[in-house]
Homo-oligomer: A and B are copies of this chain.
Amino acid sequence: MTQQLRMTKQRAAVAGALDATDEFRSAQQLHELLRDRGDAVGLATVYRTLQSLAAGGEVDVLRTEDGEALYRRCVRDEHHHHLVCRSCGTAVEIDGPTVESWAARVAAAQGFSDIEHTVELWGTCAACRAAREG
């Protein structure tokens, strides 16, 4: 069912870069990171890989306030949300308080179907705050 994906060194490199951090990273950041690391991978490939990983639920994706996509390999498989640092991307996986049932209920009441929800918290982590305030 799951289409066969060849394991190439590029895919391994991207996956490795993701595994190496807890922070949400953009495709371009990962691209640079891999280049600096010596495992240069084409930008297009980074995008493609992230896309397939996301499609397979292997990585979580979210959008910055200005629309940029950020990726992160999460520990949990089950659905969850995040508390993300706006400046460094550090993220903590959190539970949404009964968001699911609430979402379903509200949606049904309005006649909507195929419901999905987005719940993310953005903030400044302690480290970044300290760095900023000096």
A residues near B (Cβ < 8 Å) are 63, 67-69, 83, 85-86, 92, 94, 97-99, 102-103, 106-107, 110-126, 129
Contacts and interface: CB of A to CB of B under 8 A. Distances in A.
Contact of A119 (B85, B110, B117): B117
Copies of this chain present: 2
Contact of A113 (B94, B119, B123): B123
Given A119-B118, A119-B119, A125 B102 contact: no
A45 B85 CA distance: 33
Nearest to A68: B67
Contact of A123 (B85, B99, B114, B124): B114
A122 B121 CA distance: 18
A100 to B, nearest CB: 11
A2 to B, nearest CB: 22
B97 A112 contact: no
